[in-house]
Chains A and B, each alone.
Chain A
Amino acid sequence: MLQQAACGFGLTALSAMLQQQLDASEPGPLAPRTPYYPARAKRVIFMFMQGGPSQMETFDYKPRLNADHGKPSPFERDERVEQPGVSEMRLFGSSWKFAQYGESGIWVSDLFPNLAKHVDDLCVLNGMHTDNLAHAPASLQLHTGATNLVRPSMGSWVLYGLGTENQNLPGYMTIDHPTTGDGGSSMHFANAFLPAYAGGTNVLMSKGIGAKPSLRNLEGDFPSSLQRQQLDYVQRLNEQHLVAFGRDQQMEGMIESFELAFRMQSEAPELFNLESETDATRQMYGIGEEPTDFFGRQCLLARRMAEAGVRFIQVNASGWDHHGQIRKRLPENAAQVDLPFAGLIQDLKQRDLLKDTLIVWTGEFGRTPYEQDLSGGSAMMDNYGRGHNPYGFTTLLAGGGVRGGLVHGATDEYGYRAVEGKVHLHDLHATMLHLLGLDHERLTFRHAGRDFRLTDVYGRVVDEIVV
């Protein structure tokens, strides 16, 4: 081999050698894999409503709460937990009317007029509950199953379990993920102890009409043809080096990763080109108009990723943390999301992608049916908000083998605690994996001496909602 090198061992020979190695060994870790059993869903679009949307004002209709508005609430205070701005725990009714929609007759509030049209495609989980009532631990748990430990995110588990269909794009992408502030963290999409290939990639996208998505360091100022030339030169150096040392997995890995990066550089900008869509499609998502443009672009990009074979896609809408002024601010948040979400369902449906795309819409927790006033007593009722509530909230599911037009589970008559058809976050995770054809108890990874799984020792597949 050394002799060959001296004679000028060309790039073709190098790629042949690498190819041989690839053929001889197992397929790459990201190659698509067959799930444990037939999958209902091939991919996930996860919609993170950071902050915790109020269930009582959106999808969990509570007439009794409205009737008892202003009365002291019957709930016992949890003395173990500090809750600023909650003194009397007076009940606080919804300011929005609910009506029944679709053949299923599911109740939806006036805040989601567009989504309401698709209610027969939605599965409304009204009995959700989780463990922590602070943003950081609760949103970490939403993404990783653990409130305060370093654990792989759900998308990483999915990628680890299933690989991805497009080898030229990251298999797990989240768009404009909140990474700062109380509810944000890059740990939400990190692989933790899973192999690094399972980590999520944060697609940068700014607000402002017309802003384009991008990846960090995706684009440089060097024309592509010159860059290819530079890369060929580097690979030539690498080839000589490798031949001198003999086989080396890490060195070969670097060589291969440059090629993947190069392919990504040509494929990702095409993926990100939302301008290539028709005006009609863009309008369906509310792109080009406020307040829907930003989330609309996220949803449209999510659909493009779904088509391109990306396994786990996350879109993010921040700012649902309505401790104050919920009457003014909640409609603003809802309006940003309603049309794009509806557009996404419609678009996936017309492309026949909804049947194997699982959509999950959820906050990290819900909100209290009693008022919260952080102004120190000076605010008027109109300025009140609601506190964090991990005991009961609403998650929406659609597509991917989930029964549409179904309400599963319920909170008590005020919307505080889940009492029927309770679904813990662990159960949601177990069910998501189930729909993807994975068994949450068998999808394990050995680390630090034990087998870890997304659901730890918990989780139950909610069979009732599976088609």
Chain B
Amino acid sequence: VQAASLQLKRLKQTPANRLAACAAGGVWLLLFSFAVADDDGERLAFFENKVRPLLIKHCYECHSHEEINGGLVLDSREGWSRGGDSGPAIVPGQPEKSLLIKAVRYQDADYEMPPDGKLPDSGIAILENWIASGAVDPRNETPSAQSQTDGKIGPVSADALWSFQPIQETAVPKVSDAAWTVEPIDAFVRARLDELELPPAPPAENWMLLRRIYIDLIGLPPTIEQWSAFETKCREDRDAAVEATVNDLLSSPEFGQRWARHWLDLTAYADTIGVGRSIPAVEAYRYRDYVINAFNKDKLLPEFIRQQIAGDIRVPAAPGQKESQPPTAEDIIATGFLAIGPWELVSGDKVQLRMDVVDRQVNRIGKAFLGMTLECARCHAHKFDPVSQEDYFALAGILRSSVTLDGRLNGVFSQIHHVPLPESADELIERAEWIRQFETELADVQRQVNVARQRQKTLESLKTQLSETRDEPESESKVKSTDSSDKTLSDGNSLDDVEKELAEAKTAFAEANKRLQTLNYLRPHRTTRLAMAMRDGPEPEPAPINIRGNAHQLGQIVPRGFLSSVAPKAKPRFKIGTSGRLDLAEWISHPKNPLTARVWVNRIWHHLFGVGLVRTVDNFGSTGEPPSHPELLDYLAREFQKDWSTKNLIRRIVLSRTWQQSSINSLAHSAGADKSDPGNRHLWRANRRRLDAEVLHDAMLLVSGQLNLNHCGGPSLPLEHADNFNPASTGIVAKELKFPDNWRGRRAIFLPQQRGDPFDEVSFLAAFDLPATNSETGARTVTALPAQALNLVNSDFIRQQSQELAERVAKLDADQRIPTLYRTVYGRMPAEHEIATATEFIESIKTQLCEQSHENPYQEAWSRLCQALLMSNEFLFRT
């Protein structure tokens, strides 16, 4: 310290620094007016000898152009004067105002630098003196690496990004074989194939096509009856039969049950809330049922968007309408899109929690509707896409002006906002009956608790009495004769008997009491129709920039708004007094917004082809992939904007020749397409893919005869069952759940979804790439792992379905068994050699089981044959 001070003693203040120091206040002037360099040479020497080595040793590792942490570089003068995420690091002449000094002094827990240990005091003094004397720094060279670009949009400009361009009018191309194109989609695809001189695949055979239609549209394979009906109709007119089938399926309730699941993947839907403790999301199922219903009713996309983002906000009266309509129950439930977690309710830092919720909502909206990854812009300007940090916080301000978490569940645990739903007269009457039943039950359980408590008390006192008696044997008769009030209990009872009874009474009390607690926990849900939903806050609250995503380090406040580089660019005018979510929804579904229709059309395409025209379905930014058929994507987007009908879009695609191609490698394959285009980007055949987890589950139930299509909605968690739920504190759902009998065999979409570790009931699905419930994704991964094989070999689920299937088959005449099995599982008749090998397999297994004195070798052998078919690729794949 001394050396440094000595060296600086003769330094003199430069005019500029004097000015700065004056502005800062007299104290600094007094302290440092003497400590300024005589001439630049001396100050330079001080920098070179003291400051530069210190910066290199302690700071460069993280703050140089080699490595930029916190946006700050300290290897050039420009670096520290521009500063990092938190602003300039050094104010020349003013150590006290310099963040660098605060950081090295460890004054603020958020900025302790260097992080691995405080500098010695002498080191801090060197930096203080250097800054006080004007922070002379000769390092004017700017190293080449790019620095942070806060406040600016990322390197790719909006003009250069294809997805930000207006949707083009595209002419349907002319193709070599006009007869092949039944639909403009085919013309776009065929034109590309012509260009590449690749022939399309022949049409899929009936067995392949029908299974594909069923699986893609309703997530179930066809039954034998459905096969026969289709084949009969095909004999008259195949195209008509296909169209009729497609229309039937599109209007069946199973359609929504399949397609809702695709959407739920993008909403991080689950029936529990946080990532830690398994707190039930009691009302989440209403949102799931809403989504199913939305697909079944073919809700038009703008309405689907409005309801989910802003359903709770009153829509102003349209021209010709007298007054605005209040939100319906459905409108409110739809906002579950934003409201249902995953939220870290236990977080003690509620300011950060609130911002984390907003962050998640911004990302979800960005990904699901716009195909944009916005999360990067939370901490800095988006490095790749035309999204600035201001854009991000403009959107965040809209969500911040809304309420998601409200009040407390218990202690430090926050609670999701619940909204009582508007009810019809009938629903009111129905609910009055619920309440009556609920209150009756509650009173009854309360009575049981009282009785049990009383009994426990009585037995306890009796036990005390008897123990005392035992201790004093001579007075036994005395006790008996004087205390005859509890004769029934005490007479002839040994202490052991009483203890046994007491233990029983304690159990009875605990059970009744738990039941009482459970009812009290569930009371609001069982006596009111509630939804986990959004509401607007008392007034709009634009969000300040959170520096590096930290909710406690705030920058400037950003007015609410939308993505500034996406048209329509008109400055948003928010409906007065609202959060702005309704305006956001309108902006998203505005026909001039180039992202929404493209993203949606591409998602539908992805689910029908297994791959999107844009393969990165959730990323239409510069790091995503451009479309394989840009004109086709724009054509479909424009067509879709004409009616916004998802069902019409699906129908068009499914009825196209393109979609109906065979998936077998054929002509194009021999023409070398498998080498030139192994990923089939040009669609020279249909794609094959493994069934999704839910389809696999439901298909197994269907073929085993156990599928229960009557269960089609309602609560996911049977919390009333004593083993399923611990009502103490926040309430915790058990991992292994017991379900009512009439829920058995329900479709996978109705199984309860857990955040984190899947419920046992769902473990079969989880093995087959069920996406994590904590993340939003529009495209599932498909893996082939031993865990799947082990599930197919040994899991209870497949064993049960195989046995049921075997029992179904066993009822048939012997020569009908294998053909029926093939038709049930594969949807086709077996060839002669297939019947022979299957028979051989049965016989061989049966014989060996007999040798091992298996109790039911015949049935077991059949069950193993059924299982083998369910394990085989022909069943596991949609072709």
Contacts and interface: CB of A to CB of B under 8 A. Distances in A.
B457 interface: no
- Chain A interface size band reads 35 or more
B296 interface: no
A419 B674 contact: no
Interface centre among A195, A217, A220 (most CB of B within 10 A): A217
B297 interface: no
B845 A229 contact: yes
Interface string B794-816: 11000100000000000000000
B623 interface: yes
Contacts of B109: 391
B664 A245 contact: yes
Interface stretch (B321-329, B495-503, B737-745, B865-873): B865-873
Interface stretch (A31-39, A247-255, A291-299, A350-358): A247-255
Which residue of B109, B784, B871 has the most chain A CB atoms within 10 A of its CB atom? B784
Contacts of A222: 864
A270 interface: no
A244 B794 CA distance: 28
B24 interface: no
B120 to A, nearest CB: 11
Contact of B873 (A150, A201, A254): A254
B783 interface: yes
B278 interface: yes
B789 A257 contact: yes
Contacts of B61: 460
A253 B690 CA distance: 11
B477 to A, nearest CB: 43
B852 interface: yes
A261 B786 contact: yes
Nearest to A427: B116
A83 B349 CA distance: 10
Interface residues of B, number: 90
Best-surrounded residue of A182, A258, A449 (most CB of chain B within 10 A): A449
Contacts of A254: 690, 784, 788-789, 873, 876
B439 interface: no
Contacts of A74: none
Nearest to A1: B665
A218 interface: yes
B386 interface: no
Nearest to B860: A222
A190 B791 CA distance: 18
A137 B342 CA distance: 12
Contacts of B852: 223
A136 B873 CA distance: 40
* Interface residues of B, dominant DSSP: loop
Contacts of B351: 80
A261 B790 contact: yes
B320 to A, nearest CB: 44
A251 B873 contact: yes
Contacts of B663: 245
Contacts of B732: 180-181
Nearest to B735: A180
Contacts of A201: 787
Contacts of A247: 665, 674
A80 B552 contact: yes
Interface string B93-118: 00000000000000001001001111
B146 interface: no
A370 B736 CA distance: 39
A136 B276 contact: yes
A457 B872 contact: no
A196 interface: yes
Interface string B378-390: 0000011100000
Interface of A: 80-84, 127, 132-137, 140, 148, 150, 170, 179-187, 190, 192, 195-197, 199, 201, 215-220, 222-223, 225-227, 229-231, 233-234, 236-238, 241-242, 244-248, 250-251, 253-258, 260-262, 264-265, 391, 409, 419-424, 427, 446, 448-450, 457-458, 460, 462
Interface of B: 61-62, 69, 109, 112, 115-118, 274-278, 344, 346-352, 356, 373, 376, 383-385, 411-412, 552, 616, 618-619, 621-624, 663-665, 669, 674, 688-690, 732, 735, 756-758, 763, 769, 772, 774-775, 781-795, 799, 837, 841, 844-845, 848-849, 852, 864, 867-869, 871-874, 876-877, 879
Kindly list the 3 A-B residue pairs having the minimum CB-CB distance in the complex, ordered from nearest.
Answer: A136-B276, A253-B784, A246-B665
25 contacts: A135-B346, A136-B344, A137-B344, A148-B275, A181-B277, A182-B277, A184-B276, A187-B772, A192-B775, A217-B793, A222-B864, A229-B844, A230-B868, A233-B837, A245-B879, A247-B674, A250-B688, A264-B790, A409-B117, A422-B117, A449-B373, A449-B621, A450-B376, A450-B383, A450-B384
